[in-house]
Structure 1
């Protein structure tokens, strides 16, 4: 299965990526920094990493070959409380943009009208 993980450089993203790679899945890992491929994972060659700001570059990771997505990116409570606009941009608007790009990729792949 080809799977997207956003926030892949974070704690949960790294744990999930390791498990999915060990199970033989193909992963697309993305974050605002270049996400590492978990060093203890098997099948590391099944992972591709993409550094992307999903607010600006969601289309970079919306691939019609994806079969699942785990959306883990975000600014957690203290960071979003300190900077509400940044929290809203990352937690709400970036999530909307990646979901919209995935919708478009699905419609393209399935031959449906947008």
Structure 2
């Protein structure tokens, strides 16, 4: 949950309930919004790197999490979900994700280009 808070641009000092954070990491269908869990294997398609690599990148670039959210906002994706195998789990699991836009670039590429243009590392 700590990493999820950080990816949403929140710090430990921000008083935000976990439910609000989960709403930020969700999938909108035509009829409803569904909260899902996306593991590293699937997240690599969107981010272009592992979660740990993205975390390390964002340590040196403090606004990277917010910029990543803006880069993915409104992106059309084909997402396959499955029921959790654990009986106690509440959220669906993402099995595969496929960007529908032809010119889609992973988030890490977009961020590296953005920070290079700003004169960052």
TM range (shorter): under 0.3
TM-score, structure 1 as length reference: 0.26
- Structure with bigger helix share is 1
TM-score, structure 2 as length reference: 0.25
